[in-house]
Structure 1
Amino acid sequence: MRRRKLFSFQKFFLRIDRDGKVNGTKSKDDPLSILEITSVDVGVVAIKGLNSNYYLAISRKGELYGAREFGVDCTLKERIEENGYNTYASAEWRNKKRQMFVGLNVHGKPLRGKKTRRKNTATHFLPIMV
């Protein structure tokens, strides 16, 4: 288990609210942006908000949300990209054989998984130790 903050290429910290809403914040002191990254399998992780107690999840439709219980939507493939950033893709769901990634746009809003691609910097995150 690793405690990290995920800092996006768009300069937002990924956070999971107490009501399960996923978005980004510019505040480095936001307690809701502290996440626990736990290994589930080789290259597969689960990400849980430490203070919100919600798991980061991607639905079959590609929507990012916080899940109260751990389930198939919560398994994410972690990959270190060439630029040193990490990407997180749904381990369970695909859209027309393409992976769906966790991503934040330039306003800190979650991107639909169907619109995301590995090379798109909106899906790139730096894990920062807490």
Structure 2
Amino acid sequence: MAGATVTDYISFKTFCSMSAAGDSHAQGLLPLMGRYGGLVRTGAVILIFTGIIMVTINNSLWDEIWFKIKLALAILLVLNGVFIGNSLGMKFRKMASGNFIPGGQERHISMQLNRFYLAQLTLFILIIFVSIVRPGKK
């Protein structure tokens, strides 16, 4: 899930810089960018499924504060993707499939999408950090 998000972010930034430079090849990235959502959704399902299995196998895991923090961060990650990322991604792809000129409305959506990606990546880093440090581990 994190890898697909990083790849999607890099593709997004590449598309924006190529479009700003007037490179007509930028449109070739759009079909590729549209496929990352499926990978991220698959990763989210695996993340949730493995969390459920971990709690099922090890009942005492639910008593661990670090696991609750990690679970809350994972839920934020999924909700951010579903409610913010989906709508921004759809707007961006619709806008970008036309004559994309970075400025005005395009710039506003690009900035929002950039903030979305940075929030997602920050949540991933926090999840990894909590998993490693395990605050309050018994």
If the TM-score is normalised by the length of the shorter chain, which range does it land in? under 0.3
What TM-score comes out, normalization by structure 1 length? Answer: 0.22
What TM-score comes out, normalization by structure 2 length? Answer: 0.21
Q: When you count strand as a share of all residues, which structure comes out higher?
A: 1
- Relative contact order, higher structure (CA 8 A, sep 6+): 2
Radius of gyration: which is bigger?
2
